[in-house]
Chain A
């Protein structure tokens, strides 16, 4: 019978123990990665199409692996139930209105279930809750989208080809511009006119700018009106006075109008003068008498002026006034 020495037995024991510990360590590590040994909760979601998702794929929340897909099974003819194991620590941050979606881990990577962040005020999920899902874009949809893009690009290329052919054949404005020298010359002249117009516009704008500056900071009436508060107040008073005067004028005109109405009225003096011949004759007589009276009065005044009694007091002065009148 072969017998091992104690040192060899120790060595063999260490060899076996270390191998077993490594095996257990790796198993535990993988189990931790798969959330087998931690404090976890189960949560569910439904998809119409899981796009190749498998049990064991990762669950990601904010880009961090927080669990794994536990089981996938058909719930109905068009719905797939996905059971997920999520660590309880992470579940405190996953809200009830968070949404689960299926994404690819890189271009050629595994599928992952990505859980979006919910609203901050919503309560977090509990064990057995069901999350809402967002359907993944299927490969068919992506291909259809690519096909549409490809068709559009095809159409675009065809249009570009037509345009380039027309240009090549001197069709259209651009084609003539490129090939017709006369047209090109006219176009150049037009451009020159445009250039001059723009220069003029620039000069005008400079002058307008200067005027605006003068109006703002100059010494004229408008800058003073704009900037001088005393003058503005005076102007305001003037305007008030004008307003008052215009009101008075309106009142006066109204009264004149009433007066005119009364003159035109049948009872008025003018109307009586125009329509009543007796009154008119009487008035004519009166006026004639007044005229005669005035003539008599003038003669009387002349007589008085020439009387010696008055000349006695005003003799020198009257002579000087006569001289002045003669000059």
Chain B
């Protein structure tokens, strides 16, 4: 039995085809992941170029978000006479949600566009075809290494972003009041539970995996021509950002189910 596809709008058909392509691409990644050669050096390189080089951007964003959240929340908390709860509220918000999602979005923008453009240009210039001809497995060399590196680096970047955001919150707390560092750490981390931290860390692995996989897929399937590179980079950012929110929604539901 065949489904009639003529009646579907083109955008829906494109979406479904793209989703199917990404799913196939993920399957191909898991098949190739166990097959040698293991390009460890390439993993390190991408971990450095894609991950560590994003630290400054992620750090600045985290610092600003930590400060802004504290400054914005303070008047409301003061109305309830609960200023002492501010560190706890900020830390829970950052570690549970804002830290992982914000880092993932930053990475989706920076890493996704980089991967999409790199692989798209390689596709356009037929470098990938050349690698296949020369006997190198392009998927293992180009995709597996990037996906692995980004999957490892995004959680690490999330940890850094969380810590820097808490520093930003501490700085903002001391703009209008006076809170000792020890008291701030005690109040912010003391109110955290493992159920706050571990799910956030686990979902950031999925964020990294999704960003790298979608971006590699967009680069690998880039259209011929110079416009294909730009389109691949753009689409990589948009779809990976969308995936981040979808995974976040799923992660929240699964976490609630597990905790309760």
B41 touches A1 (CB 8 A): yes
Contact B55 A15 (CB under 8 A): yes
A56–B193 CB distance below 8 A: yes
Most chain A beta-carbon contacts within 10 A, residue among B42, B51, B156: B156
Q: How far is the CA of A29 from the CA of B190 in the complex (A)?
A: 8
Asked whether, in the complex, the Cβ of B159 is within 8 Å of the Cβ of A22, the reply is yes
Q: Is B44 an interface residue (CB 8 A)?
A: yes
When A8-B48, A16-B47, A23-B159 are in contact, do A3 and B41 touch as well, CB less than 8 Å? yes
Main secondary structure of the interface of A (DSSP, over half): helix
The answer to whether A12 touches B44, judged by C-beta atoms less than 8 angstroms apart, is yes
Asked if B45 and A4 make an inter-chain contact with CB atoms under 8 angstroms apart, the answer reads yes
**Residues of chain A contacted by B157 (CB below 8 angstroms):** 19
Question: A12-B48, A30-B192 in contact; A4/B197 too (CB < 8 A)?
Answer: no
Task: Check B201 for interface membership: any CB of A closer than 8 A.
Answer: yes
Given A15-B55, A26-B197, A30-B192, A9-B159 contact (CB < 8 Å): no
Are B194 and A30 interface neighbours, CB within 8 A? Answer: yes
Residue of B45, B82, B194 near A2 (CB, 8 A) is B45
From 44 to 94 in chain A, residues with beta carbon under 8 angstroms from any chain B beta carbon are: 56
> In whole angstroms, how far apart are the Cα atoms of A34 and B196 in the complex?
14
Contact of B197 among A1, A15, A16, A30 (CB under 8 A): A30
Cα of A2 to Cα of B190 in the assembled complex, Å = 44
Of residues 126 to 168 in B, which have CB atoms within 8 Å of A's CB atoms?
152, 155-157, 159-160, 163
Q: Which of B159, B192, B194 contacts A19 (CB 8 A)?
A: B159
B179 close to A (CB within 8 Å) = no
Residues of A within 8 A of B55 (CB): 15
A4:B48 contact, CB within 8 angstroms: yes
Task: Give Cα A220–Cα B47 distance, bound, in whole angstroms.
Answer: 117
Specify which chain A residues have a CB less than 8 angstroms from the CB of B48 in the assembled complex. 4, 8-9, 11-12
What residues of chain B lie closer than 8 Å to A23, measured between beta carbons? 159, 201
Chain A 8-46 per-residue mask, 1 if CB under 8 angstroms from chain B, else 0: 110110011001101100110110011000000000000
Q: Mark B209-250, 1 if CB is under 8 A from A, else 0.
A: 000000000000000000000000000000000000000000
Query: Counting CB contacts under 8 A, is B52 at the interface?
Result: yes
Residue of B whose beta carbon sits closest to that of A19: B156
A57 shortest CB reach to chain B, Å: 11
Residue among A1, A15, A27 having the largest count of chain B Cβ atoms under 10 Å = A15
* A19 pairs with B47, CB closer than 8 A: no
The 10 closest A-B pairs by CB, nearest first: A19-B156, A2-B45, A12-B48, A15-B52, A19-B159, A23-B159, A4-B45, A22-B159, A8-B48, A12-B52
Residues of chain B at the chain A interface (Cβ within 8 Å): 39, 41-42, 44-45, 47-48, 51-52, 55, 82, 152, 155-157, 159-160, 163, 189-190, 192-194, 197, 201
Residues of chain A having any CB pair with chain B under 8 Å: 1-4, 8-9, 11-12, 15-16, 19-20, 22-23, 26-27, 29-30, 33-34, 56, 108
Question: Apart from A19-B157, A23-B159, A30-B193, what are 20 other A-B pairs with CB-CB below 8 Å?
Answer: A1-B41, A1-B42, A2-B41, A2-B45, A3-B41, A3-B45, A4-B41, A12-B44, A12-B47, A15-B51, A15-B55, A16-B47, A16-B156, A22-B160, A26-B192, A27-B194, A27-B197, A30-B194, A33-B189, A34-B193
